[in-house]
Structure 1
Amino acid sequence: MVLTGLIVLAALAVALLVPEVRSEVRALIRPEPPAPITPLALATVPPRPPPRAPATPTATTPPTARATAAAATSSPATATPSPAPTDTPLPTPTPGPVVVNGRVYDAYIPAASKEGQFYQYSCEFDAAWVILATYGIDASFEEMLAAIGTDNRVEPYIEETSQGFLIHGGDIATSFSGDYTKNFLARSTGAAFRKVFAHYGLEAGPVHDRAGIEAALRRGALVWMKTTVDFKPWRPATWVTPEGATFQTVLGNDHAVVVIGFNQDVVVIRDVLGPTSSNRQRPYEYEVSWEAFLASWGAQAYDGLAVEPPAGG
């Protein structure tokens, strides 16, 4: 009996080394508070115009697969094929209240969607894909990666100090840093992703407050933004580049989504992460209160981009 018990304990210890198993056990022993989001049905919209031809990318080399840590805060580790975009019309300025499935918004832009991310930690690219697909642009992950470029000098890793957590990595103000297939620290910023939208001929400008988001959506511009997964609480961290530049960020639940609508009380989000081990019920479209939205966005230094529809499109 003693030997059997030891074998069981050893098997359990090995199983806990697997991030998804560890996440499930943690959820059972110490349940997290529910996500502050309200699931919504995807809006049914008329067909969009035919996609524009994508820009010709330049060659690039993916990040070196040299992960330093593992965390189950995003989708499965395997790549998810990108299905065809949900048909959507090109956005137009919102003249007044919009009713969507019985809910009333001051502005709402039907946005493209797909099932799951390109890779486990590719959320910034997936949020960009939503905007590009909504605007009729058929962009692949490889094209977007080529447009933004990668900084492989340092595979991101954590240093815990008396002042808090430091994440050492590449220059996320100009490039993507980290192995998007397995390193949960891999990420970038809106400043770098402006290059992706410019590559496809789109104007993208920074937006850092509620007024900027509302104005963008009213004129028909979707908003790419950094936040936390499910707008849940976070551990603050500071990103440090090889040159010593620093960026305010979060440690383990870094995420990017697209803002597609709002009213006085809530913000509407398109999030193609979908169901994962951290939230089996995660919807592709949901509402979040302005309070929770601004708090999680603030944890990422209010990093957002208002991306204008193509001119004459």
Structure 2
Amino acid sequence: MSTGGGNRAIIAALAANIGIAVTKFVAFGLTSSSSMLAESVHSFADSGNQALLLLGGKRSRQPADAAHPFGHGRERYLYAFIVSIVLFSVGGLFALYEAWHKFQDPHAIDSWKWVPVVVLLAAIAMEGYSFRTAIKESNHIRGDQSWVSFVRNAKAPELPVVLLEDAGALIGLVLALFGVGMTLATHDGRWDAAGTASIGVLLVVIAAILAIETRSLLLGEAATKPDLAKIDAALVGDGVVSVIHLRTLHLGPEELLVAAKIEIEPAATAESIAAAINAAEARVRTAVPIVNLIYLEPDLRRTVTQA
């Protein structure tokens, strides 16, 4: 199981978010800006999320046991789903609550006016580095897919999660900078509240996208169409006449289960059937290396006769 690229992106995001979160919180303490508070909580939540992704990757490498005979590969999907919940509740809902509170009692930023602007600009630079790392690692496996297609179809959840989090963080920082900047320019705290509300809506939307995508992975997704075609082609040959039906299931990002009913020659012996199955399994594993479990059922294709 290879998670190196995902781990590099996660660690880069974690390092950036810890530093950003502390800096933003200090800036909030000096200015009482609601945008700064929302952004500091957002960064703390992102830091926790990256820790969850690392934990999920570690737990997914546990060996199979009697209770989990197919292994623990889906731990990565589970922890990615938890990330979406944390982002929705701790990040999005908190920001919306803080915006509502600020709208009730708007106040301008009267002290340390330069601090939030400097902090936000520095945070944009650090988040930009993290986002660049996620893009670089994603490009190794994205191929010619569009970014939307990559996020929707990726079987490994870490890179899409980090990409969406970093993109959301950068947009959120721009929204916070706009809210703070307008508050400083107009001395009207409602701009700060508006920036906070925009951050909350943004995080809720990103959390919903993550939840939808990881839900599909948790339910169990089939192999990609190119891999399905390779598996179907690899099964035929050396005693296997055709594939009657084929089912695949991702047990984890790099673990694929294949179950198929295959057509054999009517006169085949038990020995030749066993040899054909072994040869077919070897061809499938060569064609699609992530296939680690194969169950093949030999059968005869029955033709339907019309009266």
TM value normalised by structure 1: 0.24
Larger Rg: 2
TM value normalised by structure 2: 0.24
- Larger strand percent: 1
- Larger helix percent: 2
